[in-house]
Structure 1
């Protein structure tokens, strides 16, 4: 792990890189404002796979959450070579490295860990390992905000080493089996889920697929079969 930004200051710039910031996310990011019981509290957020920094910008741009501290981790060099983002002092600390290389004890300090449109870029086994690690390592009262396409959304790399290729699809049934506390959806069937520590007891039911024929239509069949609420723009709180 290489730290790029520390206390909002650039400390180790990436030099002579032609790679551009990447990582557009179609996830229902607005769910971030509904996760905590008290947004006025001093909240610490870790944004894994921050890409172009849109989640951080959203958090710091809202009067109700502008005081939150947001740290970022991204494995793509281009995302960590973004001087304009750093100058706006959106992210307190930024590290260049894969989520798998973050020391597990670091997760315990955060109130919210965000993994938005990240797991579909991993192998099935790595995605399972990462979810288990995050749920195991985060604090007792911490929350994990995960988003992913609920089908095998076809996507390939656009820049060298950009980690953009999709390797798995995640059925809605697999995410709902983790007993999320709340969820939301954006088109085209991109689900966002807030998980607490109780989800660790159900982690064995998380089963992504490598089957590229798991289409949007099939994803919708599964979502409808389990009464997953496919209503873009709304969030649903579960008991």
Structure 2
């Protein structure tokens, strides 16, 4: 992976790119404020597929989390060519590369690893491999915050190489089978789930689909079956 920003300083700028930062997440990002018992502690966050930097900006704008250190990884050149955001020191370190290339020892140091509206852009096999890798590599007391549409949300590329096309749909049954610690669902059926290390025991039950006919209606039926429905502003904490 190529490091673009180190300790808030741009060390290897992308020059001459006409690609624009992309990747707006519709996930319930605010769930991140409810993960830890003590937001005042020193916290390190990895934002995989940070796009336009919405998560980092949200954390830095909140008085309770402005001291958190946030690193970002993105495979799209345009997202890593954002000097205005880098100048505001939102992300401590930034790498241009794929999530699959992140070393396991680097993953182990983060308190929260975020994979927000990313996994649906991967092939089914890569998605399953990445989820298992993240759960395996993260620290014993760390958290994986993952969000995804709970149906095959139709989306295509908008810029060359932007990785925006959706390749899979993820049923709510797959996410709930991972025994999340808490979750929230935004319209239109975009789920955010906080997983602990114990989810690794259930990772075999994560089964995305490549079936493009997995519609919003079908996804909603499955979500209802496991009581995982859209309730605006509501975060559900499950008994462990």
Give the structure 1 partner of residue 105 of structure 2. Answer: 105
Question: What aligned pairs does 1:155-234 form with structure 2 within 5 A after superposition?
Answer: 155-234=155-234
User: Per-residue deviation at 1:162?
Assistant: 0.2
Structure 2 regions of 5+ residues with no counterpart? none
User: Per-residue deviation at 1:228?
Assistant: 1.4
| Secondary structure class of the residue paired with 2:108 | helix
Distance 2:153 2:138 in 1: 29
User: Per-residue deviation at 1:10?
Assistant: 0.4
Structure 1 regions of 5+ residues with no counterpart? none
Question: What aligned pairs does 1:119-134 form with structure 2 within 5 A after superposition?
Answer: 119-134=119-134
On the 8 A contact 2:189/2:229 being kept in 1, the answer is no
- Residues 115-134 of structure 1: CA deviation (Å, up to 9, x unaligned): 00000000000000000000
Distance 1:37 1:131 in 2: 24
Question: What aligned pairs does 1:1-239 form with structure 2 within 5 A after superposition?
Answer: 1-239=1-239
User: Per-residue deviation at 1:232?
Assistant: 2.2
Runs of 4+, deviation exceeding 3 Å:
none
| Secondary structure class of the residue paired with 1:109 | coil
Normalising by structure 2, report the TM-score. Answer: 0.99
| Secondary structure class of the residue paired with 2:4 | strand
- Residues 179-228 of structure 1: CA deviation (Å, up to 9, x unaligned): 00000011000000000000000000000000000000000010111121
CA RMSD of aligned residues (A): 0.5
Normalising by structure 1, report the TM-score. Answer: 0.99
